[in-house]
Amino acid sequence: MKKQLSQNWIISKSWLRFLIIILLVIGVFFRFVNIDKRIYWGDEVFSSLRISGYMQSEMNEQLSNGRLISIKDLQKYQYPNPEKNTIDTMKGVVLEDSQILPLYILIARFWVELFGNSVAVTRSFSAFISLLTFPCLYWLCQELFESSLIGWIAIGLVAVSPVHVVYAQEARAYSLWIVAILISSLALLRAMRLKTKVSWCIYTATLVLGFYSHILFTFVALAQGIYVVAIERFRFSKTSISYLLSSSAGFLTFVPWLWIIITNPQPEAVTWANVKQSSFASVARWAGIFSRTFLDLGISPSDPGKLKIALIPFILIILAIISYSIYVLCRRTSKEVWLFVLTLIGSIGLPLLVVDFVFQKRYATSRYTLPSVLGIQLAVAYLFTTKLTSIYTKIWQKKLWSFVAIMVIMGGVISCIVHSKAQIWWNQFPERYQEYPKIAHIISQGNKPLLITDDSIIPSIQILGHLVAPKVQFQIVEPNKLPEITNGFTDIFLFRPSDFLKAGIEKIYNSKLQQINDLLWKITKST
């Protein structure tokens, strides 16, 4: 295979390198452009709460007492400050968010402390980490395929892959998880090839990195174990024993945190996945997940059906390319290569498929299937490389596959352009939060506005806190309690008020409520 690929490498080297460099520049650009323009949504607000070192219970107690609150008061619970240190950050993760793992939160806290308090800075950490994907991916392709050409094409695909760009601009641990997956995969293949103690120790270290990056890395580690066992044909060889020792050592370091997760469960963190869905809905969901690897125009479940129907031909083409790439990979590469890619794809894909189709849940989402996405991109990179450079490929076939490759790349570039201009994206629950920017604009237009609510601070009010003008004041009251409204405010609004709050405001303050939309009311004086 290596000889076959290298025969046309000299011919294609100049234009390919030029194209990949352009795609790499484009990919880096889209990872940072307008990084603070999209809504800072619920998951990110929770990340910032953990970074600040405060616990949700502390924040609720200190803010839900009916006093006037400024934007600065809200941001106290979104950014690091002298009142809380890294020990407090760890305490918050352990007691309230044990499932998110501490590594990203701790490093992000230091990052924000170093570069300043802002949404752009907080998100830029993920964008910076995502840049490590490129050297890790290239090195992995060298180790797996023994081909730098496949590595270059894989970099080009990932550079403009919309799913990578989306999570590179989100204040969550997904970019770190991607890097951990790649570097642990690379370390495993290298250890199996070198068979040295140092290489296996490096693999152990990458497992520790992965375990403390994302809870679902455990499935990736399990898939790597299946790969080693299959390659060694269930024998207790030197490689099998070395792997067993390394993986055991890596897992032992994770046991303390696993105990924390067991003793401090957070079942409410995944309540969104308990909604039943039909088999047809699951199929559509999975098709969307895999197609977003190369094309993503931001279509969400709340968008009109016509938009979804219009995308069906493109989705089917992408799924056909993915399926064919896996077929070619299995037909033309050794067991060591195709089995590794398949176990990476199935590491999290198969468990989620079982949960979705057997138990009719909806755990499948792009952020959970990132290992499968990486495996798919490796397979497609191999497909494009062989079809474009093989001496056995006819000229008309090379032209056809050149066109397909260009279309896939253009789909990624167009997706990145659309994403860079959007204020909210499909992964940010637009059906729940798409009205927030409009609400923030309405409130901010007042000369001296006040927003009253008895709704939860996290995430609703904190999201608005990142959107409204600094002049906006907040008043948060506990359920079944009424606020003491002071004079001096020109515009007073109610956000997601309970029936008790609406009725009480109208009765006690002799006011009328003007409904602006489903979430916002404005208080007007009765005539």
205 occurs within a structural domain: yes
Residue 10: the pLDDT is 40
Residues 121 and 177 in one domain: no
Whether the predicted pLDDT of 453 surpasses 60: yes
Residues 259 and 179 in one domain: yes
Count structural domains, the chain: 3
Cβ neighbours of residue 100 closer than 8 Å, sequence gap 6 or more: 47, 50, 93, 173, 215
Which residue's entry shows tokens 């299937």? Answer: 369
pLDDT, tens only, 150-177: 999 999 999 999 999 999 999 999 999 9
The predicted model gives 420-427 an average pLDDT of 94
Average pLDDT across the chain, whole number = 91
Residues 185 and 104 in one domain: no
Among residues 235, 265, 295, the one where a domain terminates is 265
Residues 123 and 185 in one domain: no
Residue 268: the pLDDT is 65
82 occurs within a structural domain: yes
pLDDT, tens only, 198-210: 999 999 999 999 9
Domain that holds residue 78: 42-127
401 occurs within a structural domain: no
Residue 11: the pLDDT is 44
Listed range (20-29, 111-120, 398-407) with the worst mean pLDDT = 398-407
Cβ neighbours of residue 49 closer than 8 Å, sequence gap 6 or more: 56, 59, 77, 78, 92, 458, 462
- Strands (E) across 168-238 are located at none
Residues 177 and 119 in one domain: no
Among residues 127, 148, 182, the one where a domain terminates is 127
198 occurs within a structural domain: yes
Residues 179 and 240 in one domain: yes
Among residues 210, 238, 265, the one where a domain terminates is 265
26 occurs within a structural domain: no
Cβ neighbours of residue 402 closer than 8 Å, sequence gap 6 or more: 388
72 occurs within a structural domain: yes
The model's confidence at residue 4, banded by pLDDT at 50, 70 and 90, is very low
The predicted model gives 412-429 an average pLDDT of 95
The model's confidence at residue 393, banded by pLDDT at 50, 70 and 90, is confident
Residues 185 and 256 in one domain: yes
The predicted model gives 338-353 an average pLDDT of 94
The predicted model gives 72-98 an average pLDDT of 93
291 occurs within a structural domain: no
pLDDT above 70: percentage of residues in the chain: 95
DSSP 327-353: HHHHHHS-HHHHHHHHHHHHHHHHHHH
Distance CA 86, CA 96 (A): 15
357 occurs within a structural domain: no
62 φ, ψ (degrees, to nearest 5):
-85, -20
Residue 377: the pLDDT is 98
Whether the predicted pLDDT of 285 surpasses 60: yes
